[in-house]
Structures are given as C-alpha cells and as structure tokens.
Amino acid sequence: MAPAARPPALRPWSALAHPLWLASLAFMVANDHVFKGSGLLPGWLTGKLSDVTGLLVAPLVLAVLLGVRSRRGWVAANVAVGGFLAAVNLSAEAAHGWAWLTEFTPLPWRRMVVDAGDLAALPALLVGGWVFGRAMATGPGALATGPGAQANGAAVLASGPAMLAARPHPRLPNALRWAALASAGVFLLGNETSEPIGGGIPVSGVSFTAPFGIGNGTTRGLLLRVRPLRKGVAVDCAAVKAKPGLLLSRRLFAPAAVWGVDSTRTIDFSRDTLPAGDCAAYLIDGGTADGLAKVPMTLAFWIKSEWPARSIPGTVPSSGQTDLFAVAADNAGPLAWRSHPALFAPPPSLDPGPAPGCELPGDATGVAWQLPLPTGTHTIVERQQAPDGCTALDLAGKTNTQRWFVCLPPGALPFDSGDTITLAATSKGQAFGPIDGVEITGDGKLVRLGRGNDLVYFGKGKGKFAPKPGCDGHFDACGALGVALGVELTDVDGLASKVLAPGQAAAVGKGRTLWVVRAQDQITGDPKCLGTSAAVPASRLIESVYVEVP
C-alpha cells in the first residue's frame, strides 16, 4: 500500500509577493498616513479599512516570522491574530496587559481603545486565510511574465479576492519581500490605536501608562491647571513624604499647564513632566469650563518606587481606583477631590517664617570663586579686598595677567601681593565627599575652600552634623526649605569636642583653622537661591574653609 502523499509544505515567504497582501499593506499605510483626518474619505470608512487591511496583513507576517509550514500552523496564525483582536477589544484588562507588555519594546502601545465594534472586521481573516493559504501552497507562478504582472493594487482589490486566489502571483526579489515584511511588522506594531468601525459607541477613552491619572468624575467639562516642580528643584523625598503640604512651598512649582478634561475622561497629567528624582509633586486646581465652579487646589505627591507606572484607562471607572486622582461633585454641590493617599492639602499661599535663631545664612553669605579656575602657578601682582569678603587677585601667569575673584570669611586668605600661589580644584571631603572645591597653596600655606555634602578635608578629626534644637526649617526666597545644622568636631588633637554654628571657626591644630560658613540640611533646594550655579545636593549643603599657616 502506497503511503498517502504528504501535502506539500507551505511557503509563507512566497505569499509575501501576492498582490492582495502587497496592496493591503500599501493601503494600510496610505490609510493611516494619508486618508485619516484628511477628509478625503469619511471617518467610518478609514476606520473600517484600517481594521480590514490589518487583518489581511498580520497573519501572513506572523506565519513568516514563525516559519509556518503546515495548514494547521497557518490556521493557528489566523486564529491567534483574531483572538488577539477580540481580546483587546472586549477586555480592558487584556488591553492594559498588552499595553504593559509593549512598554518593554521600542514601540509601546499607549493609546488602546477597547471597542467591541472592531470585531466586525474579523471576516477579513477568512478571506486572507483562503487567498494566502492557496498562494503559499502553489508558490510563485509564471504570472510574472504574464498579463497579471501588470495588475496594480487598486485593480486587484477591484477584481476581488476570489479571482486573485485563482491566479499565480508574481516573482518578487527577496530584498523587496524583506522590506515589505519589515515595514508590515513595524507598521503593525506601531499602529497602536485600534479604532471602532462605523463610528461605533466608544466604551472607553484612550488608556495610557503612567503612575497616576486625573479623572473627571463630574458631569461637566473641567479646565485643570497642573503645575510640576520647577526645573532644577531637588527634593529630599523621604523627608518631604512626612508632610508634603508643609514642606513644599508653592514657589517651588512651575507655571501651570492647562488641561481640558471632558466629563468621565482621564488625563495623563504627568506626561513629559515627571521629574527624574525619586518622587514627584504636582500642584493642581482648576474649575469647570464655564467658570462657574472651582476645583480646589490639591497637592499630589508620591514616591515613584511605591507607585510604578501602569496602564490607566481613559475613562473614569464607577468605583474608586488607586491610580486615579478623581474630581467629583457631591450632588451638584461643590467640586472636590476624592480622598487618595497621594493627595494632600496644598502648601499655604505664604511660606511661614523661621523660628528665632533658626534663620539660615542668606544667599550673599558663602564661599564663592570665579570660574573657570585659572589652575597653575601665578604671582599675585595686586590684591584688592572688598568689605563683603571677596578679594580680587591680579595673577601674573606665564603669558598674561588676569583677575580672579574669591570670596572667603575675613582673615581666611593668608596671601598678599608678591606671593606665588598655585591654584587647583579639589574634591576631597573630610569623611566621604566628594565636594566641589579649590586649593590655594604657596610658601607652605594652604587654603582649601569648598561646598558639598561634607566639610573640606582638614586632617585628623571628625565632623558630625545635627539639626539645631528647635529648628524646623527656613524657606528661602525661592521657596526652598533648609534646616540649620550644628557641626560637632570630635577626635581633633588638642581640641575638646566642640559644636560650630555657621559663621564660626575653630583651631583644629597648630596654625590650622576650620571655618564653617554654611551648614544646613536641604529638604528642598534650588541652585538659583543658594548663590551658586552648581547642582544642589538633595539633602545637605556644607560650605567650609580650612587654612594652614605654618
């Protein structure tokens, strides 16, 4: 008994040259990039074409990528595509799951629409399954030299799939097939919006991926003003978490961006403004679009690791949702925010003043030096002192004389006209550093000045920082909050344990003096108000000077 003849292996690769597939791909691209929104075709038609062409193109791409060789495999590819379409259009959870998965790809889907109406396009799978199934079974035919080779995409569509199925398809160079396959893959993955057919009734707004959204749970349109933190503002997230409304000043926030939010819709309010640090803060208020009612101001604050980004539906759910800050109206009463663990009372309109004795040094106080630093060895041609503590040193180098300014506590610069000095940058802190600093040396003398989260290096000894008792904080002119620190010096030879306040100095050895110019914990910081263009450490700001005079 002769064995039954095995059906020939399918060659999906060959079907990539099929005119219907190529025409579908071309039409899908043209539809999304030319027809949609152009007014050339009605909206319901472009939506329909998008779905139909997608269902014609996608199964064959999948079959090629998976190396399908059997009819069973081809059917499975079609079922997989159909099943995917059905799942994301019937289940918000499935759509959100897919959106979450695509976050790990270069083409994340962030605008999913759950719409059962899309399922009306499913019969296109049957057409594609039959036409391309035959094509991949017969392989390339002689039509490449026949009259059918002249058929263009439009004619193919017009003549109907049945006719096309009966015809062998043309030869196509492999390079072109690869190009078509790649473009189909990219387009299918990048075509993230699934659209309803025939203007079907939407069941959801556009979902997005973010830690939180804001939802309009009222029956009226809202205009919301959303203010992110100003650029450059640093926040000690762990400290602020305790009382965000009291520790963040309104002045730390940037001007508002205005969002228009229709009833029941949600917005991705942190889009493009989520800060790079460990936490995020937004000051939000607004009102109804008609101006008749206000949305009270609220402060959104969260630690990013505690609230990772997730897929958020485009429509406010009827029940409370943890990833949504929702505005609601109490039976046409005043608008209010639904209670949420990441929403807080906003900061007061005026920052409170510091307790007596807890004031921080103003921005005019502090070490400073002119940049760029003229590193190397110079002779001081002239030294001119100003009463604000800044000194102008006219430095003669090998080729020219230049003026360099440095600002130090009075008596902390033991160099004069005629001295030769060497300038160098330093990052050496007392305990762990690094700091941003300068070393001036010459004639056995040394001045080391710096700013950072540690004292400048002063040799043997330790410096410990502790808040001044009774000092809660001081908001500066930019709204940044600092807490005054005392610096306790221990293990210093010849010096009993001593606490230095900013502005004080202590001998830390023979001919060795340490000045503490500024010492504060920065709960929040803004370089603009700290007298420096350098980055502000998130938690501690120490400015100090160490002088050695033999």
Partner 1 sequence: MSRLCMAAAAALLGAVAGCGEGSIPGASGSAEATSGGSVGGQGTAAAAGSHGVTQAGAQDFGLFRQVLDAGKVPAPNVLDDLGFFAEHKLDYPKATCGQDLCMHGLVGSMGNMITGANCTIVQIGLNTPLDAATLPRPPLDLVIAIDVSGSMQGEPIDFVREGLKRMLDYLDKEDRLSLVVFSDSADALFQGVGIDQKTKLAGLIGQIQTSGQTNLYDGLFTAYQIAAKQQGKGRSARVLFLSDGAANVGLQVRAKLRALAKAYALQGIGLSTIGVGKEFDVEAMRDVAEAGAGNFYFLEQPKAAAEVFTDEVKTAFHALALDAKITFRPAKGYAIRGVYGTHGWVGGPLGGVISIPALYLAKRTDATASITEGRRGGGGAILIELIPLAGVPDKAIGQLEIQWRHPVTGKVDGQVAALVAPHAPGQAPPEGWFSAPTVEKGFVMLNLFAAFQMACAQAFDADAGAARGVLQALKPQVTKWLKVRADPDVADDMKYVDKFLDALVKLSAQTPIQVPADPWPAD
CA torsion through residues 482, 488, 493, 496, sign: positive
Query: Can you tell me which of 93, 103, 388, 493 binds partner 1, judged by CB under 8 A?
Result: 388
Give the footprint of partner 1 on residues 396-415 (CB under 8 A): 403, 405, 407
Residue written as token pair 């001007």: 255
**3-state secondary structure at position 125:** helix
Residue 441 binds to partner 1 (criterion: CB under 8 A)? no
Q: For residues 62 and 55, give the distance between their C-alpha atoms in angstroms, rounded to a whole number.
A: 11
Task: Say if residues 506 and 462 touch (Cβ distance below 8 Å).
Answer: no
Considering the complex, state which of residue 473 and residue 486 has its C-beta at the smaller distance from partner 1: 473
Give residue 535's identity as a one-letter amino acid code: A
Sketch the per residue contact string, 190 through 219, with partner 1: x for CB under 8 A, - otherwise. Answer: ---x-xx--x--x-xxx-x-----------
Give the footprint of partner 1 on residues 340-369 (CB under 8 A): 347-353, 355, 362-366, 368-369
Residue 241 binds to partner 1 (criterion: CB under 8 A)? no
Strand partners, 394: 382, 403
Task: Say if residues 420 and 510 touch (Cβ distance below 8 Å).
Answer: no
Span near partner 1 by CB under 8 A; candidates 22-30, 74-82, 323-331, 385-393: 385-393
As measured in angstroms, the least distance from the Cβ of 449 to partner 1 is 14
As measured in angstroms, the least distance from the Cβ of 287 to partner 1 is 2
Contacts of 439 (CB under 8 A, 6+ apart): 423, 424, 425, 426, 446, 447, 448
As measured in angstroms, the least distance from the Cβ of 141 to partner 1 is 38
Count the alpha carbons within 13 Å of 244 in the hemisphere toward its beta carbon. Answer: 23
Residue 44 binds to partner 1 (criterion: CB under 8 A)? yes
Considering the complex, state which of residue 160 and residue 357 has its C-beta at the smaller distance from partner 1: 357
Query: Can you tell me which of 11, 71, 111, 241 binds partner 1, judged by CB under 8 A?
Result: 111
Give residue 101's identity as a one-letter amino acid code: L
Residue 282 binds to partner 1 (criterion: CB under 8 A)? no
Q: For residues 426 and 444, give the distance between their C-alpha atoms in angstroms, rounded to a whole number.
A: 18
Query: Can you tell me which of 243, 462, 464, 510 binds partner 1, judged by CB under 8 A?
Result: 243
Say how many Å lie between the first and final Cα of the chain, rounded: 111
Query: Can you tell me which of 29, 144, 230, 285 binds partner 1, judged by CB under 8 A?
Result: 285
Residue 86 binds to partner 1 (criterion: CB under 8 A)? no
Residue 47 binds to partner 1 (criterion: CB under 8 A)? yes
Sketch the per residue contact string, 291 through 330, with partner 1: x for CB under 8 A, - otherwise. Answer: xxxxx------------------x----------------
**3-state secondary structure at position 492:** coil
Give the footprint of partner 1 on residues 48-77 (CB under 8 A): none
Site size for partner 1, by CB under 8 A? Answer: 80
Task: Answer left, alpha or beta for residue 501, where phi above 0 means left and psi between -120 and 50 means alpha.
Answer: beta
**3-state secondary structure at position 197:** coil
**3-state secondary structure at position 495:** coil
